């Protein structure tokens, strides 16, 4: 397979062919890798590049301290020095990280102004020129020791400044901050966990790598709260593999006095508007009739969806129904995919902690190395000062006898055998500092530095001591920033939704099918007051049957199709109306007409089809039952011969069959073998002469003489009609 492409050095309009694999390798793969590595997948610090660039810009702007004095527009503009993708995407990234948006349990940006809400689809955030922001206190742990070279720094896109490859987070932020990203050929979906539980789990794991994570990391925790339906097996699978799903449902309270349900926490994956729209659609479709109104009453006090209900409503059943049909209960699908050393990797919790611990140990070792170097340099200076203290008069004499200022340092180096940095340090000491107290303090400082260096070197050379340091930091972070869970854990099994019939009014009714494809659904109460059917001038009632509003109706058409509809989906009408046009409500083909109605309560009994060729097909009625909610079944019966009539019978019965106007017979349907296929052409029941055909098939009625017409076997030629029993 080849792809045609233009070459830069070829003449205009000259097309050459090249293998599509080459085009993919040269053009598509670099793009795919760029999306994976530089955009969509979070790394070991829990951030995507866009997050990292924004936060580091704010850090360099000095927004880790002070008040919210900087406009968001200024922050966005400064961030474009690292992230040249336009101000819109940068501000959207910032919005999600703010305290005002409520997307994070531990936000990184302390905000002032309208930043919208995570739980709202339509609540727009204000423009960046109206809002203000600074870094939140928890960012001190995000940038801890970053100026000590604990992480690699690289040039920005135009090599005018440096930016960090990663941020040295002092806690497993990749488990605390939720993340979602769609790359090319892969995705990442990370739920958030409670900071206290994450710190406790990390500490326990550091002490014992075989620690049972589920004992300390109870379940995910979301900023929007809600109630998590805990399935231990599913959660263990997520913890082990990094993949799986769990259910979160809304929390609500019932205001019995005002007949109202108040939803005050919803799943993290949905919005208020999506829930209200779905509830309104269910009410409009008649699937839920206990709700009289639904509205958004969210205010400064927090989220609230008010659902007005009828006083007789069973609140628990209604909520279980809403949980099943709306996003008041939703699934969160986990895919813990992170970039580790530039490669995407799906990990369970233990592996995540292992990778983060390795990263954190490297950061601490680099911080220790930085401190060791700085303290060693200072100790080196103090060691030079110690040599001077032994003969300070000699030092003064050397300085006084030196003619040129530039020769002071070389003369000190020669006179005391010290290095140039030591000599520079001594030469800069003020005369006022040549007192006993100053010199004694420097001697004490030297001893202190030697002790500190010994301790730092000991820690630097021991991963075990570094792990103890990490544990100490995690304990401090948990104490300072830890907060109670927002998402409650329900250890009870999720209740199944009550049957749909529970929410459907149950009453007796009668159905009327007309010859022109109209159906009339009229309650028996309404029929008692007016039973005269209004029809079009040339229309007639072809069939009438009794049913209840909870029944399912099967409608057989003259095109061998059968349609299914629930009777509660057909509007009620009065005898004085024309009814519903079936072509419209069933989506039938033009010219197609319903010829028979059958009620499907339990799909029991049989369908009997009589054909003009004297054959009768007996089909199990359950053959029309489907596991899925299919609205149309094709090939519902045979079309090999014209259909005379069809009937649904609950059990075997006597059938009256008539040939033309001369012969008839009565046969019990038990003699007709049951067919496994709906398309069966049936078996011969009535023996026909040439140019004769079956014209009537129906269950016997009081006008029939079953004994006279009775046939004990099939096929048979029947008996001549008696004039007094003849049916026109």
In a 10 Å sphere around its CB, with 0-12 CB exposed, 13-18 middle and 19+ buried, how is residue 554 labelled? buried
* Segments in 242-333 forming alpha helices (H): 272-284, 315-325
Beta strands at 70-71 and 132-135: parallel, antiparallel or unpaired: antiparallel
Is the CB of residue 600 less than 8 Å from the CB of residue 624? yes
What is the crossing angle of helices 72-79 and 49-60, to 10°? 110
Tell me the CA distances in angstroms from 356 to 238, 361, 495, 641, 684, one per residue in order.
Answer: 18, 9, 38, 75, 79
End-to-end CA distance of the chain: 73
Tell me the CA distances in angstroms from 489 to 218, 232, 263, one per residue in order.
Answer: 8, 11, 17
Residue 615: partners with Cβ closer than 8 Å, 6 or more residues away: 641, 681, 682, 683, 684, 685
Tell me the CA distances in angstroms from 333 to 16, 187, 188, 336, one per residue in order.
Answer: 46, 11, 10, 10
What are residue 333's DSSP bridge partners?
A: 245
Is the CB of residue 536 less than 8 Å from the CB of residue 504? no
d(CA 421, CA 161): 30
Q: CB-hemisphere CA count at 13 Å for 47?
A: 25
What is the crossing angle of helices 195-207 and 349-390, to 10°? 80
What is the crossing angle of helices 72-79 and 87-97, to 10°? 120
Is the CB of residue 56 less than 8 Å from the CB of residue 142? no
Report the candidate in 76, 335, 70, 287 with the shortest Cα–Cα distance to residue 188: 335
- What DSSP character marks residue 688? -
Residue with tokens 């006179």, as numbered in its chain: 415
Beta strands at 606-611 and 643-649: parallel, antiparallel or unpaired: antiparallel
Distance of CA 614 to the CA centre of its chain: 59
Quickly count: other Cβ atoms within 10 Å of residue 695's Cβ: 15
Report the candidate in 196, 217, 249, 290 with the shortest Cα–Cα distance to residue 503: 290
Residue 243: enclosing H or E segment and its boundaries? strand 243-249
What are residue 45's phi and psi, to 5 degrees? Answer: -85, 0
Residue 676: partners with Cβ closer than 8 Å, 6 or more residues away: 620, 623
Q: What residues are annotated to the active site? A: 130
Q: Any idea of the CA torsion for 163, 165, 168, 172, to the nearest 10 degrees?
A: 140
d(CA 140, CA 153): 19
What are residue 227's DSSP bridge partners?
A: 249, 488
* Encoded tokens for 157: 């896109």
d(CA 485, CA 500): 35
Residue with tokens 């102004």, as numbered in its chain: 113
């Amino acid at each position: 397979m080849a792809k045609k492409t233009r070459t830069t050095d070829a003449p205009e309009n000259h097309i050459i062919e090249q293998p599509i694999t080459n085009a993919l390798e040269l053009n598509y793969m670099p793009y795919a890798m760029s999306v994976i590595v530089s955009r969509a997948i979070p790394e070991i610090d829990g951030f995507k590049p866009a997050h990292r660039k924004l936060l580091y810009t704010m850090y360099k702007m000095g927004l880790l301290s002070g008040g919210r004095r900087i406009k968001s527009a200024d922050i966005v503009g400064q961030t474009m020095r690292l992230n040249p993708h336009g101000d819109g995407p940068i501000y959207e990234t910032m919005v999600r990280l703010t305290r005002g948006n409520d997307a994070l349990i531990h936000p990184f940006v302390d905000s002032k102004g309208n930043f919208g809400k995570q739980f709202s689809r339509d609540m727009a955030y204000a423009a960046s020129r109206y809002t203000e922001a600074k870094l939140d206190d928890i960012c001190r742990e995000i940038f801890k020791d970053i100026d000590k070279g604990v992480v690699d720094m690289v040039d920005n896109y135009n090599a005018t400044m440096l930016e960090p490859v990663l941020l040295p987070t002092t806690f497993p932020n990749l488990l605390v901050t939720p993340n979602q990203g769609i790359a090319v050929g892969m995705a990442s979906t990370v739920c958030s966990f409670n900071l206290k539980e994450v710190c406790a789990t990390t500490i326990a794991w550091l002490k014992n790598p075989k620690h049972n994570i589920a004992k300390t990391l109870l379940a995910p925790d979301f900023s929007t709260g809600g109630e998590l339906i805990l399935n231990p097996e599913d959660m263990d699978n997520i913890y082990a593999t990094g993949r799986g799903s769990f259910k979160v449902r809304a929390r609500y309270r019932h205001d019995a006095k005002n007949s109202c349900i108040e939803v005050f926490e919803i799943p993290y994956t949905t919005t208020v508007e999506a829930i209200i729209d779905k509830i309104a659609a269910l009410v409009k479709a008649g699937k839920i009739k206990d709700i009289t109104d639904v509205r958004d009453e969210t205010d400064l006090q927090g989220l609230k969806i008010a659902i007005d209900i009828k006083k007789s409503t069973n609140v628990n059943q209604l909520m279980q129904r809403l949980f099943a049909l709306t996003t008041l209960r939703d699934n969160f699908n986990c895919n813990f995919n992170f970039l580790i050393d530039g490669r995407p990797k799906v990990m369970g919790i233990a592996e995540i902690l292992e990778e983060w611990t390795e990263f954190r140990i490297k950061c601490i070792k680099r911080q220790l190395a930085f401190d060791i170097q700085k303290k060693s340099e200072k100790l080196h200076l103090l060691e030079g000062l110690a040599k001077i203290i032994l003969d300070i008069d000699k030092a003064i004499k050397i300085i006084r006898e030196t003619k040129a200022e530039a020769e002071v340092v070389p003369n000190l180096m020669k006179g005391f055998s010290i290095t140039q940095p030591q000599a520079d340090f001594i030469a800069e000491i003020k005369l006022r500092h040549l007192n006993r107290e100053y010199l004694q303090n420097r001697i004490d400082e030297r001893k202190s530095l030697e002790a500190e260096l010994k301790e730092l070197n000991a820690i630097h050379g021991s991963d075990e001591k570094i792990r103890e340091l990490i544990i100490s930091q995690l304990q401090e972070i948990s104490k300072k920033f830890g907060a109670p869970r927002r998402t409650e854990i329900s250890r009870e099994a999720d209740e199944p939704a009550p049957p749909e019939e529970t929410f459907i009014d149950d009453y007796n009714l009668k159905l009327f099918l007309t010859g022109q494809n109209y159906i009339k659904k009229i309650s028996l109460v309404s029929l008692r007051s007016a039973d005269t059917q209004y029809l079009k001038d040339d229309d007639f009632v072809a069939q009438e049957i009794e049913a209840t509003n909870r029944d399912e109706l099967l409608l057989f058409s003259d095109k061998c199709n059968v349609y299914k509809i629930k009777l509660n989906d057909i509007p009620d009408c009065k005898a004085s109306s024309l009814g519903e046009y079936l072509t419209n409500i069933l989506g039938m083909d033009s010219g197609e007409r319903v010829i028979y109605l059958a009620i499907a309560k339990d799909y029991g009994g049989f369908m009997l089809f009589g054909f003009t060729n004297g054959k009768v097909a007996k089909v199990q009625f359950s053959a029309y039952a489907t596991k899925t909610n299919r609205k149309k079944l094709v090939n519902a019966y045979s079309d090999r011969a014209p259909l005379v009539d069809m009937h649904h019978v609950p059990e075997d019965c006597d059938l009256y069959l008539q040939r033309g106007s001369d012969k008839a017979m009565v046969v019990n349907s038990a003699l007709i073998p049951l067919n496994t296929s709906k398309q069966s052409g049936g078996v011969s029941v009535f023996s026909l002469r040439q140019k004769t055909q079956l014209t009537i098939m129906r269950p016997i009625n009081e006008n029939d003489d079953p004994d006279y017409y009775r046939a004990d076997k099939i096929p048979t030629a029947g008996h001549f009609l008696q004039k007094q029993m003849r049916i026109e």
